[in-house]
């Protein structure tokens, strides 16, 4: 099991110019760990991270798009797996931070926690490559390859909470940051 913030720090070290879509707790951590105009962050639309990332991947086929989803969030929109598998964007990396809870809502256990395999669901939905990673060294070693592979790629990251990061809802919804993201997309 990895600390989520440590896992995100590994991603930040490997990041070049990828668009990163981060939702809920991962979004709150990501804005501190890897500030960038190419961060697309939000809360309040549980389950929509993968759909937003798909739209960005289809709209910007020249850029790699990484989504930092949660297992509870993905459960709210499992149909997105089928859509992504069907459309098969080559530039999409779908990471699911699996901790078995709806963490943002008080760490309420998810249904089927510990029994379901998100990687198996993604394979059945049409993702050609899936990974399950629970060790930080393995994540660091595999990530370079994952970011170069043709997608869609699905990565289950077995995580637990790490360090506490301050919640900054104003930052997540600030029009200035939305405009900076839009401008970064236009620059190419």
Q: 23: helix, coil or strand?
A: strand
Q: Name the nearest CA neighbour of 17 among 40, 41, 38.
A: 38
Domain boundaries, the chain: 2-187
Q: In 3-state terms, the chain is what percent helix, strand and coil (to 5)?
A: 45, 20, 30
Helix (H, G, I), strand (E, B) or coil at 42: strand
Distance CA 67, CA 73 (A): 12
Q: Which helix (H) or strand (E) holds 94?
A: strand 92-98
Contact 171, 31 (CB under 8 A): yes
Angle between helices 136-146 and 4-14 in degrees, nearest 10: 30
Distances (CA, A) of 20 to 38, 121, 170: 6, 23, 19
Out of 3.40.718.10, 3.40.50.970, 3.40.50.300, 3.40.30.10, the CATH code matching 2-187 is 3.40.50.970
Spatial neighbors of 79 by CB under 8 A, at least 6 apart, are none
pLDDT in tens, 55-107: 999 999 999 999 999 999 899 999 999 999 999 999 999 999 998 656 666 66
Question: What is the per-residue pLDDT across 10-68, written as a single tens digit (0 to 9) for each?
Answer: 999 999 999 999 988 888 899 999 999 999 987 667 778 999 999 999 999 999 999 99
């Amino acid at each position: 099991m990895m600390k989520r913030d440590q896992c995100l720090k590994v991603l930040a070290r490997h990041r070049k110019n990828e668009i990163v879509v981060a939702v809920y707790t991962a979004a709150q951590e990501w804005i501190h760990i890897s500030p960038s105009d190419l961060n697309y962050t939000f809360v309040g639309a549980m389950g929509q991270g993968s759909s937003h990332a798909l739209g960005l991947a289809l709209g910007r086929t020249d850029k790699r798009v990484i989504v930092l989803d949660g297992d509870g969030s993905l459960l709210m929109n499992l149909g997105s797996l089928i859509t992504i598998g069907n459309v098969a964007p080559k530039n999409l990396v779908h990471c699911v931070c699996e901790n078995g809870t709806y963490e943002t809502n008080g760490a309420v256990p998810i249904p089927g926690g510990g029994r379901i395999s998100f990687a198996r669901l993604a394979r059945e939905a049409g993702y050609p490559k899936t990974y399950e990673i629970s060790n930080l060294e393995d994540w660091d070693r595999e990530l370079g390859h994952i970011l170069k592979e043709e997608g869609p790629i699905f990565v289950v990251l077995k995580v637990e909470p790490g360090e506490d990061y301050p919640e900054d809802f104003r930052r997540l919804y600030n029009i200035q940051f939305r405009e900076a993201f839009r401008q970064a997309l236009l620059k190419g």
